[in-house]
Amino acid sequence: MSLTWVGHATFLLQIGGMNVLTDPVWSERCSPVQFAGPRRYMPPGIRFDELPPIDLVLLSHDHYDHLDVRTVRRIVGTHSEARWLVPLGLASYLSGLGARYIAELDWWAETDVDGLRLSCTPAQHFSGRGMRRNVSLWCGWLATFGERRCYFVGDTGRHPDFGALGSRLGPFDAIMMPIGAYDPRWFMAPVHLNPEEAVDSFIELTATSDRPCSMLAMHWGTFKLTDEPMTDPPERARAAWLERGLAPDRLWILRHGETRWIE
């Protein structure tokens, strides 16, 4: 199993002989238009035309920095056989963009794709594009192949169910955890973890297991979405990680395009 950080919430996960993308965004801006809106601070870690054949795409929700219309259409055109897993309410939207093989799941539901087990997990967030709000669900995804478990947390605020998620779905080998887009707290706290909350959530997810697990930081360093400095999330995450006595080599702050292997 290997994970390559493309940027923001986009990873290339290679597991069980499959190439899986999470929340793919290759556009210059995460916006309904390309002449305005948050622009890339860093280019994608993998060029789109250098991707391997994509077997599966996992979408967590419909916000512009997670569901990018231009990227969806590029995947549909280049990787036409790819399957798509989406939370409730998004299948018709993806179908309208040309996606052919779509499964729509509710929280805690599971499905199998060529031997890869996918579980749709709860998150604390919201959905919406334009003026529409919460007409579709939001979620995370657990990918399981044999004994390997990789958890893409998605976009979330701090909630009380991380411990239950860990005991029900763990143990995990890798957890892709959001650490950015958190200031100002009076506005962002319900929907985005700050770095300290991300580390505490990781601890709760792994509390019932002694299996070594790594936290891969995401949702930072790619688009300037909120008020905190771009370098703040990893610095605070490292400090919180060490303060809580966690193994230093298990916090993975990847560079754009960097790959890590789970042996």
User: pTM of the full predicted structure?
Assistant: 0.96
Summarize the confidence of residues 72-98 as an average pLDDT: 97
pLDDT at position 72: 98
130 pLDDT tier (thresholds 50, 70, 90) = confident
134 pLDDT tier (thresholds 50, 70, 90) = confident
pLDDT at position 88: 98
Q: Which CATH architecture has domain 2-254?
A: 4-Layer Sandwich (3.60)
235 pLDDT tier (thresholds 50, 70, 90) = very high
Summarize the confidence of residues 233-242 as an average pLDDT: 98
Mean residue pLDDT across the chain:
95
User: Three-class SS string for the chain?
Assistant: CEEEEEECCEEEEEECCEEEEECCCCCCECCCCCCCCCEECCCCCCCHHHCCCCCEEECCCCCCCCCCHHHHHHHHHHCCCCEEEEECCCHHHHHHCCCCEEEEECCCCEEEECCEEEEEECCCCCCEECCEECCCCCCEEEEEECCEEEEECCCCCCCCCHHHHHHHHCCCCEEEEECCCCCCHHHHCCCCCCHHHHHHHHHHHCCCCCCCCEEEEECCCCECCCCCCCCHHHHHHHHHHHHCCCCHHHEECCCCCCEEECC
pLDDT tens, residue by residue, 172-229: 999 999 999 999 999 999 999 999 999 999 999 999 999 999 999 999 999 999 999 9
pLDDT tens, residue by residue, 25-38: 999 998 777 777 78
pLDDT at position 263: 79
pLDDT tens, residue by residue, 158-167: 999 999 999 9
pLDDT at position 132: 77
pLDDT tens, residue by residue, 92-122: 999 999 999 999 999 999 999 999 999 999 9
pLDDT tens, residue by residue, 118-128: 999 999 999 99
